[in-house]
Structure 1
Amino acid sequence: MKTLIRAAALATLFATAAAPAALAQAAPPAAESMFRATTLNLAAYGETEVVPDMATISLGVMTEGDTAQAAMQANATRMNAVLAALKRGGIAERDIQTSNLNLSPRYQYVENLPPKLIGYQASNQVTVTVHDLKRLGQAVDATVNAGANQVHGISFGLDDPTAAENAAREKAVRALAAKADLYARATGHRVVRLVTLSEGGGSYPVPPPMPIAAMASFRKESADTSVSAGELKVRVDVTGLYELGR
């Protein structure tokens, strides 16, 4: 009986060991051909420049009070004035979003004495999206005049980057194909086909925010202050695997 069990176990072992060899022999000819092919693995990028059509302003109100309630009430009063000014300037309510609300105690520090509570500080920060850049100067001027005392800057962008991204994609693919042709000619080959193509993501550089000092100057100008938005560069990176032949 033991002899029969050993024989069965050996037969199973041989069958398991033979399976990979059988699978290797059954590998598709296409996979084997691809494994032996001469290939190029390349990367390229496409970049397009576009004029921004929207801007984002980050601003806020900071107030102080002897009590937490007093600080918050003063903050709410001033922020309501800022929001009203924005709406009068043509900014829709959906384009105004609270991004930070904070209340913290204020202490007086004297050497060799414990900290002394002297009041509270409240801050409320909002992010404002301006879709009509002609209203940008007016919006900034209105918020500063209404009491915004924390202005962190302006950044520019695109409402819909799809067209700019697609233009960058086309440039990236053309650059990739040109690079493949160059390498093929340099090595005495020709491009047979593009095997794989992948997009490695892209970048959407935004100009640095306008400094606070520059924004404060809006108060000295008229409501239709001219703002230069410049251009944005939208970039898309791609990689591709090419098969070469003689």
Structure 2
Amino acid sequence: MKTLIQAGALGLALVAGAAPQALAQAAAADAMFRATTFNLSANGETRVAPDMASINLGVVGEAPGAAAALAANSAKMNRVMAALKKAGIAARDIQTSGLNLNPQYVYPQNQPARLTGYQASSQVTVTVHDLARLGQAVDATVGAGADQVNGISFGLDDPSTAEDAARLAAVRALSAKADLYARATGLRVARLVSLSEGGGYTPQPPAPMMAMARMEKSDATSVAPGELRVRVDVTGLYELSR
């Protein structure tokens, strides 16, 4: 019996030790339930000039046989890559992004399809860090045999500075909105309970080839990078008081 009493006493001691923490959590939850709160959202945006661009280029080779079509494609792509490097594009900024080989058929009326040869196509994605070289790089590749300029997109090598500026704008907008709601309801903001972030820098989608064609001027390709929008969304929970 003595052992059981001691064990029971130990159990009571453990419960007593845990009780203050549990009671504190329950009290905090009850206080939040009874408090008047606003759950608000806002966003901040900044505009910044891009400092890099990506171009998707392609070449096509055709021949009666599959191996010959691949060889023709490879020869053209080698010339395009050499032209890119000559234009000042580093090898690490040239990445193969696609390679396809397809049979080519003709379909005479009321006759079976007839194989006429093969078409091999390949694409590379080129990253240009010096935008002053962008038009030169496009011209060089087309002159070297590039058949396709599939799109161009602008971006930021390091978006952190632009994101931080957007964050500051978002938090200012959120705080102003909280003050506005508080005044409208005859209350005041007591404290910010929680803050969460969404959104952030999103690279610009590639502009199609037609858009590039409209920017061509004279004998050289002129490309206007414009500005990028960097947006951050924030959500905050505010506690109010009288």
Match of 1:120 in 2: 118
Distance 2:231 2:207 in 1: 20
How many aligned positions are there? 222
Q: Which SS does the other structure have where 1:28 is aligned?
A: helix
Distance 1:90 1:76 in 2: 21
Match of 1:229 in 2: 225
CA shift for structure 1 position 113: 1.8
User: Which runs of structure 2 are paired with 1:173-184 in the superposition (5 Å)?
Assistant: 173-184=171-182
Which residue identity does 1:238 align to in structure 2? V
Match of 2:30 in 1: 32
Match of 1:16 in 2: none
CA contact (8 A) 1:56 1:129 kept: yes
CA shift for structure 1 position 198: 0.4
Match of 2:199 in 1: 201
Q: Structure 2 vs 1, CA of residues 235 and 216 (structure 1 numbering), >3 Å: closer, same or farther?
A: closer
Q: Structure 2 vs 1, CA of residues 69 and 217 (structure 1 numbering), >3 Å: closer, same or farther?
A: farther
1:146-195 deviations in whole A, cap 9, x for unaligned? 00001112111111111001110110011000000000011000001111
Distance 1:80 1:197 in 2: 52
CA contact (8 A) 1:141 1:218 kept: no
Which residue identity does 2:229 align to in structure 1? K
CA shift for structure 1 position 115: 1.2
Q: Which SS does the other structure have where 2:33 is aligned?
A: helix
CA contact (8 A) 2:79 2:144 kept: yes
Which residue identity does 2:164 align to in structure 1? N
CA shift for structure 1 position 230: 0.7
User: Which runs of structure 2 are paired with 1:70-85 in the superposition (5 Å)?
Assistant: 70-85=68-83
CA shift for structure 1 position 210: 5.2
CA contact (8 A) 1:184 1:191 kept: yes
Distance 2:51 2:107 in 1: 49
Residues 1:97 and 2:102 are matched in the alignment = no
Which residue identity does 1:53 align to in structure 2? D
Match of 1:156 in 2: 154
CA shift for structure 1 position 110: 1.6
Task: Give the TM-score of the pair, scaled to structure 2.
Answer: 0.86
CA shift for structure 1 position 202: 2.9
Distance 1:82 1:219 in 2: 22
User: Which runs of structure 2 are paired with 1:58-69 in the superposition (5 Å)?
Assistant: 58-69=56-67
Match of 1:188 in 2: 186
Identity %: 67
Which residue identity does 1:235 align to in structure 2? R
Q: Which SS does the other structure have where 2:74 is aligned?
A: helix
Q: Which SS does the other structure have where 1:42 is aligned?
A: strand
Q: Structure 2 vs 1, CA of residues 207 and 115 (structure 1 numbering), >3 Å: closer, same or farther?
A: closer
Among 232, 235, 241, which residue is 2:237 paired with? Answer: 241
Give structure 1 regions of 4+ aligned residues with deviation exceeding 4 angstroms: 215-220
Distance 2:130 2:88 in 1: 9
Which residues of structure 2 form unaligned runs of 5+? Answer: 1-18
Task: Give the TM-score of the pair, scaled to structure 1.
Answer: 0.84
CA shift for structure 1 position 211: 2.8
